[in-house]
A and B are shown apart, each in its own frame.
Chain A
Amino acid sequence: MIDEDFTKSLLQKHSYLTQQDSVDWVTFECVPEKLLSFVESLRDTEGFEILVDLTAIDHGEGADFRYSTVIHLYSLVQRGYLRIHSTCTDNDKPEMPSVSSIYPAANWHERETFDMFGIHFSDHPNLKRILMWDEYPHFPLRKDFPLAGIDTPLPADDVVEVTQASVEPAPMMGGPFVSSNSGSMSDSEPRAKDESWTEKKEKPV
């Protein structure tokens, strides 16, 4: 069972861990260098057999440490989840050790995280894009990436030659689907937002 005793014993066993505030499951902050050994010990000695999710957070351009990764583990023995949060130390080339050698399920999760956030997972067996095409130059889930997208050429030259098609920013104005469900109507309307047609904030070229 994941209770206070369990949390304390983990904190004692692994001195580099710090506990983070969390409203649901126990959350640890783990330094990237120790992530592999910590996760492996969780699997082998604490019974966390299942990697439920692996993703990342972009804390925004102003943050000291912009990127961090989050791992959710589940234990069928303990009947509960554990969350491990690790911060990437380099903002320009964020890097994190790959846990795919411990949990094979992490393989595609890490590829997706790389695809969307541009976080490099060292020693990953096949770190290439999984959703966007290989030549795509941007990382769409980063905070500075506009939802509408950025002008980009399509990958197939022969198709582009015939069709003249390319990736164009999607129109956002007036669509029935893009509006927040809180606040006054004049603020939640799609046209009230800082989006591709009212660019107040500078977007990457």
Chain B
Amino acid sequence: MGFACFKRLVRNKHMHMTASDVAYNGKVEGDVVVTRADAVINWIRQHSVWPMPMGLACCAIELMASAASRYDISRFGMEVMRFSPRQSDCMIVAGTVTYKMAEVVRRIYDQMGDPKWVVAMGACASTGGMYRSYSVMQGVDNIVPVDVYVSGCPPRPEALLDAMMKLQDKIGNESSVRNLRKTSAGAVK
């Protein structure tokens, strides 16, 4: 039921977008769109992910490739990579997280505004990868909550795009309104 309405919203949105005026079109007055707040909020969030490239090793090269024209992450509405945590909501941890860097990764995560998501890109960020060593954290999920893990060493850009689409699906299923209430009440950090 909710999904059908959501579909209608999308369709209507496109109708408006094809019209010459972006503002409210008086000719369709009375065409009331019924939907759920969650669906609208998630739809907006889903298609405007602002990634923060936490490039720590060679995975960052593939991350850059996925942003370039051949793989073109902007097809999914998330090409605006910001190097400031204040301006982004999805941290892509691309590379080896050493214990020395772990503190920095966590601080940058803390500085990102809610709601925020984390993608662990590649074997190192997911599990420590080939670095079974005294200096490498065995998976970034030791310090930040990870939403999507990407396998590969390094993953190809397609794999990252797939992960980002998975993240979009995940965002689409969140209970945003309930989370919003919880956060404003201070119950959930």
A147 and B107 form a contact (CB under 8 A): no
**Does B134 contact A147, Cβ atoms closer than 8 Å?**
yes
Number of interface residues of A (CB under 8 A): 28
A169 CA to B133 CA in the complex, in Å?
8
Q: Measured between alpha carbons, how far is A121 from B87 in the docked complex, in Å?
A: 45
Contacts of B128 in A (CB 8 A): 170
Is the CB–CB distance between B103 and A155 below 8 Å? yes
Quick check: is A11 within 8 A (CB to CB) of the other chain?
no
Interface bits A131-150 vs B (CB < 8 Å: 1, else 0)? 11100001010000111111
Contact present for A170 and B143 (CB under 8 Å): no
Q: Are A177 and B130 in contact (CB under 8 A)?
A: yes
Q: Is B138 an interface residue (CB 8 A)?
A: yes
**Beta-carbon nearest neighbor of B143 in chain A:** A163
Does A148 contact B132, Cβ atoms closer than 8 Å?
yes
* Most A Cβ at <10 Å: residue of B99, B106, B131, B132: B132
Interface residue A171 (Cβ < 8 Å from any Cβ of B): yes
- Asked if A154 meets B132 with Cβ closer than 8 Å, knowing A159-B106, A162-B106, the reply is no
Q: Does A156 belong to the interface (CB within 8 Å)?
A: yes
| CB proximity of B135 to chain A, nearest CB, Å | 7
A146: chain B residues at CB < 8 Å are 134
- CB <8 Å contact, A140 and B99: no
How many A-B pairs have beta carbons closer than 8 Å: the answer is 63
Contacting residue for A132 out of B103, B135, B144, CB 8 A: B135
Distance in angstroms from B120 CB to nearest chain A CB is 15
User: Is A165 on the interface with B (CB-CB < 8 A)?
Assistant: yes
A149 to B130, CA, bound (A): 15
Q: Establish whether residues B102 and A149, one from each chain, have CB atoms under 8 Å apart when the complex forms.
A: no
Q: B134 to A154, Cβ gap below 8 A?
A: no
Is the Cβ of B143 less than 8 Å from the Cβ of A178?
Answer: no
Distance to closest chain B CB from A100 (angstroms) = 23
| B135 and A147 within 8 A (CB) | no
Is residue B70 contacting chain A, with contact meaning CB distance below 8 A?
Answer: no
A50 vs chain B, min Cβ distance (A): 29
Q: CB of A167 within 8 A of chain B?
A: yes
Closest to A134 in B: B100
With both beta carbons as reference points, the residue of chain A lying nearest to B131 in the complex is identified as: A170
Chain B residues lying within 8 Å of A169, measured Cβ to Cβ, are: 134
Neighbouring A residues of B107 by C-beta, 8 Å: 156, 159
Q: Mark B89-110 against chain A: 1 for CB-CB distance below 8 A, else 0.
A: 0000000000110110011000
B134 touches A159 (CB 8 A): no
Given that A132-B100, A159-B107, A162-B106 are contacting pairs, would A145 and B134 also be in contact in the complex, using a CB cutoff of 8 Å?
yes
A155 shortest CB reach to chain B, Å:
6
User: Whole-angstrom distance from the CB of A40 to the nearest CB of chain B?
Assistant: 35
Instruction: Name the contact of A131 in the complex, choosing from B103, B132, B135 (C-beta under 8 A).
Output: B135
Which residues of A are found within 8 Å of B138, using beta-carbon distances? 168, 170-171
User: Sorted from nearest, which 7 A-B pairs have the closest CB atoms?
Assistant: A149-B134, A156-B103, A177-B130, A170-B132, A163-B143, A165-B142, A159-B106
Binding site for A on B (CB under 8 A): 99-100, 102-103, 106-107, 128, 130-138, 142-144
Mind listing 19 A-B residue pairs with CB under 8 Å?
A131-B100, A132-B100, A138-B134, A140-B135, A148-B133, A149-B135, A156-B103, A156-B106, A159-B102, A159-B103, A159-B143, A163-B106, A163-B144, A165-B142, A165-B143, A168-B138, A170-B131, A175-B130, A178-B132
